[in-house]
Amino acid sequence: MEKAYNVDLLPEKLAQLTNLIREGESSAAEELGSSGSSNAVDALTLALTSKSWNLRDKALTGIRAAIKKHRATPKFMEALADPIAAILKHPFTIKKRDQPQDAQFACQKAIQILPQIDGEKAISLLNDPKILRLTNPDLTEVLKALNVLPGAVRIDINDWLKTIRPAAVSDTYPYPNIYSELLCSLAHHNHPSLQEHTRDVEKNFPYYSDAQVGAAEAKCIVRGLPHDFVSRIIEIHYELPWDRLSKPVQNLAVAIELDAYTYSGIEQYILQGGHRVEFAIETLQIMGKHTLLWKLQQCIELFGPAGIPIDFKERADRMDENDGFIFSSIMDMQYQENLKSRDLKVLYYNFAAQHAEEILLCLKEATSAVK
């Protein structure tokens, strides 16, 4: 995807936001950060080195948005690497009880941002033993950041996996995502023990555990899928005509979308994406997500022989009629015990690994289309 650099901010606007930052206005710091403009660097440096951790945190929120939306200029990123690195290091130079909460939030954002603007600096800092340690509550973020930079984790990953395995396999480890990220690190390193560890997870770990997600994601890494392929597939399925996507890519996009809706409720999926419910059922059948499949099928029965209406307003009206009978029934639905199946994220990562070539082709074609 081409960089969508912004033009510099108008002097009047820049002066206004700079003055607001001096007055401690955090929303101004976020707005300035999200501009990605080269002439915003001095004012942003002021925000990032402020005594106010809220100001720093909001500035980082804006900077993260600018990078994500491809608005950040090279000068913008290069100039801000050092103040962002200083924020990243700060919580590890003082006792945890002395840290304001905003400092922790800012540090987490700095961990996410720094690898995207200065990989070498990020590798050096994040491999510091004070930061890359099992007792670091932000270790998941650290590992995720390092995993964006293949081969950047400079520890004995096998040793760490052995250390935390007993707690992880019994689902008592306090930081469950760490095992998952360590498996991804093994994949990035092309470590020969990866297959042994993934088999162990698939066979012995709880079917709902985060380690299962890591084992499945590691397969995607081995097959060459980029770390952000999930978010890119979602973007593509909104940007490109549906019929231009291959069937596996369509299935993957629907599964990712469904997984997101499982947190807000299946009734929200029916309201927002109910026009594709038949395709969703097909996707769940292919991937073997029996619990969600059962719930969707029950929803169709609730709506009656005609099924879920295509029109959004009609769906909403039908769910609300008879004192919200359909809505309440969906909310009250309980999965049958014999329908347990692995997390949908695990299933769609495994599916993606199986169809990696088609997904990579889709990503390549989408990038070419944008250019």
The DSSP annotation for 228-262 comes to THHHHHHHHHHHS-GGGS-HHHHHHHHHHHHHHHH
For residue 370, what is the enclosing H or E element? helix 356-370
Helix axes 177-188, 194-204, angle to 10 degrees: 150
The CA distance from 235 to 256, in Å, is 11
- Residue 171: both structure tokens together: 């689902």
Would you state the structure tokens that stand for residue 230, as one six-digit string?
A: 């999930």
Give the CA distances from residue 74 to residues 77, 195, 199, 354, in Å, rounded to whole numbers and listed in that order: 5, 39, 43, 37
Question: For residue range 18-75, what is the model confidence (pLDDT) as tens digits?
Answer: 999 999 999 999 999 999 999 999 999 999 999 999 999 999 999 999 998 888 999 9
Q: Is the pLDDT of residue 186 over 70?
A: yes
Using DSSP, state whether 120 is helix, strand or coil: helix
Domain ranges of the chain: 11-117, 157-222, 238-370
pLDDT(5) > 70: no
- Read off the tokens for 298: 């029950």
Pick from 257, 322, 251: which is nearest to 286 by CA? Answer: 251
Write the pLDDT tens digit of every residue in 158-183: 899 999 999 989 888 888 889 999 99
**pLDDT band for position 98 (cuts 50, 70, 90):** low
DSSP 150: T
What pTM value is reported for the model? 0.82
Distance, CA of 40 to CA of 76 (rounded, Å): 8
Mean pLDDT of 184-206: 92
pLDDT value, residue 16: 93
**pLDDT above 90 (res 360):** yes
Distance CA 218, CA 212 (A): 10
- Give the helix/strand (H/E) hosting 228: none
Identity at 266, one-letter amino acid code? I
